[in-house]
Amino acid sequence: MKKFLVGIAVASAVALALTGCSGSGSTAGGSAKVITVGFAQTGSESGWRAANTQSMKDAFSTENGFKLIFNAADNKPENQIAAVHSFINQGVDAIVIAAVVTTGWDDVLKEAKDANIPVILEDRTIDADPSLYASWIGDDFKQEGVTAGAWAAKTLGTTATSMVVLEGTTGSAPAIDRATGFGSAIKGTQIKTLDSQTGNFTRADGKTVMEGFLQKYGKSINLLFAQNDDMGLGALDAIKSAGLTPGKDIQIVAIDGTKDGLTALSQGDFNYVVECNPLLGEQVATVVKDVIAGKKVDKAYTAKDGAFDKDQATAALPTRKY
């Protein structure tokens, strides 16, 4: 794409107009260079993901000097790999990936490296050779799990507590790291895990899996750990349909901090919510520009996350952006 853009810059006024008029660099003719970025998103599985996608689209706008080629993989790793192959074939200037799963990335990232196309990871981490990507920008999933687990340990850990877990997408970084963090925080407490199954980070699957938990374990469930708000919100319907009161009969701790999640918390349906900030677009765009310009960037940038009880959620809701 870099060679292609140079050719456009000297070809004709019509072709030049196709590249746009703003960007981070300049061509020999004095016109600004547009940075073409391919963004491989996981899908549209949750309110968090919708906010993350919008943040990226806002940051990688024409006004900011970018041409964004967006692809959502419907949470299918094979779709995402195919999208990255397509970006490479199109000759984009940079590729941004929010990986569906952590594994299986080495070959396509080597292909990008051979094509001199830098790769920046957004939101999720991967298990590939770190030399194959320039930087990662996201949240500390393990710490989110630790924070959620610490609340559970403090609140319920000294009495016999039976917990069920709604896991995120199997093999994804947040599902793995949040489970690890939560598990470390409740170690040595009286919290026992009855069952743990994936709800794929979706509200519908969260409801379905919770219905199964309730059919199997009934009123013996005291605690639900939902690895994201949407699964927890889906579980609310199942809990209420079973004649139980969420937040009382079954206490709920979730991760994300979306408006819907904080609303459930403020209404007493959830008991505690740990934040995972989805508004990463601006920082990702800055890193992309720096990488393209040959500037040194850090290997990792971690967003700042908070946590909420009922009163804090109520106070935060009027100005919540997602």
Per-residue pLDDT reduced to its tens digit, 252-268: 999 999 999 999 999 99
In the predicted model, is pLDDT for residue 17 greater than 70? no
Q: What is the pLDDT of residue 22?
A: 32
Q: What's the confidence (pLDDT) of residue 10?
A: 33
Which one, of 174, 214, 139, 147, lies nearest residue 45 by Cα? 174
Q: At residue 7, does pLDDT exceed 80?
A: no
pLDDT surpassing 90 at residue 232: yes
Name the more confident of 24 and 82.
82
pLDDT the model gives residue 26: 38
Domain 2-138+278-303: give its CATH superfamily.
Response regulator (3.40.50.2300)
Mean predicted confidence (pLDDT) in 137-160: 98
Q: What rounded mean pLDDT belongs to the chain?
A: 91
If DSSP codes are grouped into helix, strand and coil, which group holds residue 102? coil
pTM: 0.86
Find the angle CA(280)-CA(281)-CA(287) to the nearest 5 degrees: 95
- What tokens appear for 10 in the block? 């000297």
pLDDT confidence bin for 27, thresholds 50/70/90: very low
CATH of 141-276, one of 3.30.450.40, 3.40.50.2300, 3.30.930.10, 3.20.20.120: 3.40.50.2300
For the chain, give every residue range classified as CATH 3.40.50.2300.
2-138+278-303, 141-276
Q: Specify the pLDDT at position 131.
A: 97
pLDDT at residue 24 in the model: 39
Q: In whole angstroms, give the CA distance from residue 188 to residue 202.
A: 31
The string over 249-287, giving b where at least 16 C-beta atoms fall within 10 Å of a residue's C-beta and e elsewhere, is ebbbbbbbbbbbbbbbbbeebbbbbbbbbbbbbebbbeb
Mean pLDDT in residue range 170-198: 98
Burial class (CB in 10 A: 0-12, 13-18, 19+), 225: buried
Mean pLDDT is lowest, of 25-34, 92-101, 153-162, for 25-34
Please state the rounded mean pLDDT for residues 188-206: 98
Residue 43 tokens read as 């899908």
Dihedral sign for Cα 131, 297, 61, 256, please.
positive
Read off the pLDDT band of 21 (50, 70, 90): very low
Strand, coil or helix: 132? helix
- Distance CA(281)–CA(287), nearest Å, equals 10
Determine the pLDDT at residue 321: 85
Of residues 175, 215, 148, the one with CA closest to residue 45: 175
Helix (H) or strand (E) holding 165: strand 161-167
